[in-house]
Amino acid sequence: MQISDSSTRILAGLLEARTGQQLTMSRRWRIETALSGLLRERAIGTLDELITILVMGKEPGLSQMVVEALLNNETYFFRDRAPFDLLQRYALPELAQRRAKAKRLRIWSAGCSTGQEVYSLAMLFAEEADKWRGWTIDILGTDVSTACIDRARGGAYTQFEVQRGLGINQTIKWFEECPDGWRAVEELRRPVRFQVHNILESAPHPGGFDIVLCRNVLLYLSPEKKTLSFERIASAMAEDGWLMLGAGETVIGQTSKLGADINARGLYRLTGDGSRIEKRQSHERRASAAGA
């Protein structure tokens, strides 16, 4: 099933207008696969016919369905386990000391997809229940996809989804069987909440988050929108907060407000406190600019 160049451009424009994400060449190959289910559901013969319906504007809700189908919602429990270990080794112990009086932590998972990352975070706290007893842990998951947020709120996952990242003991302890597979137990669902939100919009709680996770979300944004996203993220973080990005992402050349943590490579801090930021950061930024 082929799609014309003009139809591809229309899809790219729709995706960027709704989400800020670009339909890069590496993503264009999956257009047919991504939209095949929608075509069958609506009994639409070809991709170009679908585009014609979109352009005519006769089905306003269809454009949102197309956008959501094009989004990359890849996620799984404890994805790339190392970053979660960094949180446990560096961020959480420091925050436990600094917030000992208030006994409250706010965490934001931006681009949470169907929620596995959020429930992974909830497990970190549930598995150390004695340490966090008496604390208020608030974990917010956001995504541009309404369908993903609806699924995340339900907390139910298939056998395949649960097996990706979780061992059998974790599954039995933190999930209960349900008609469609496994559902997170109340202890995991209690501290989490979800809402539809675009990273390019103002932060949900400016200055209020102790930890922000924004992993593999910025990969599909233009340089200008990446810079804006980092502005939004920085505005959301507490002064001594932490940021976790995806393995292939960096703040270098994107923002001056964030830098790599001096002790925990892979985690980032606001640059207001220079003692926390790795000294090589400025040299790396200059090297990046020179190579551009």
Place of tokens 């790599």: 260
Residues 6+ apart with CB under 8 A from 239: 207, 270, 272, 273
Same domain, 182 and 273: yes
CB burial readout 79-99, b (16+ within 10 A) else e: beeebbebbeebbbeebeeeb
Mark whether 28 and 144 lie in a shared domain.
no
User: Do the domain assignments include residue 188?
Assistant: yes
Same domain, 150 and 226: yes
pLDDT value, residue 292: 40
Same domain, residue pair 242 and 100: yes
**18 with 93, same domain?**
no
Q: Cα–Cα distance between 154 and 76 in angstroms, integer?
A: 16
Tell me the chain's radius of gyration from C-alpha atoms.
20
Do β-strands 192-196 and 136-143 pair in parallel, antiparallel, or remain unpaired? Answer: parallel
147 inside domain: yes
Q: From first to last of the 292 residues of the chain, give the pLDDT tens digit.
A: 567 788 888 888 888 888 888 877 666 777 887 888 888 888 888 888 888 888 887 777 888 888 888 887 778 899 988 889 999 999 999 999 999 999 999 999 999 999 999 999 999 999 999 999 999 999 999 999 999 999 999 999 999 999 998 999 999 999 999 988 999 999 999 999 999 999 999 999 888 999 999 998 888 888 899 999 999 999 999 999 999 998 888 898 889 999 989 888 889 999 975 556 665 444 444 444 444 4
Are 35 and 160 contained in the same domain?
A: no
In-domain check, residue 76: no
Number of domains observed in the structure of the chain: 2
97 and 61 together in one domain: no
**Is the domain of 126 the same as that of 257?**
yes
What pLDDT sits at residue 243? 96
Q: Quick one: pLDDT at residue 277? A: 61
Residue 254 lies in a domain: yes
Residues 48, 119 within the same domain: no
In a domain, 77, yes or no: no
* Domain limit, last residue, from 70, 90, 105: 70
Domain limit, last residue, from 38, 70, 102? 70
**Range of the structural domain that residue 33 is part of:** 5-70
φ, ψ of residue 245 to 5 degrees: the values are: -105, 175
My answer on whether 66 and 184 are in the same domain is no
CATH number, residue 255? 3.40.50.150
In a domain, 161, yes or no: yes
Check whether residue 178 and residue 237 sit in a common domain.
Answer: yes
Last residue of a domain, one of 46, 70, 94: 70
Q: Please check whether residue 193 lies inside any domain of the structure.
A: yes
Full-model pTM: 0.83
Helix, strand, coil % (nearest 5) of the chain?
45, 20, 35
3-state secondary structure of 240: strand
The answer to the question of residue 215 being in a domain is yes
The pair of structure tokens assigned to 99 is 């917030």
Q: CB atoms < 10 A from the CB of 260, how many?
A: 22
pLDDT value at position 287?
43
Regarding whether 252 and 118 lie in a shared domain, the answer is yes
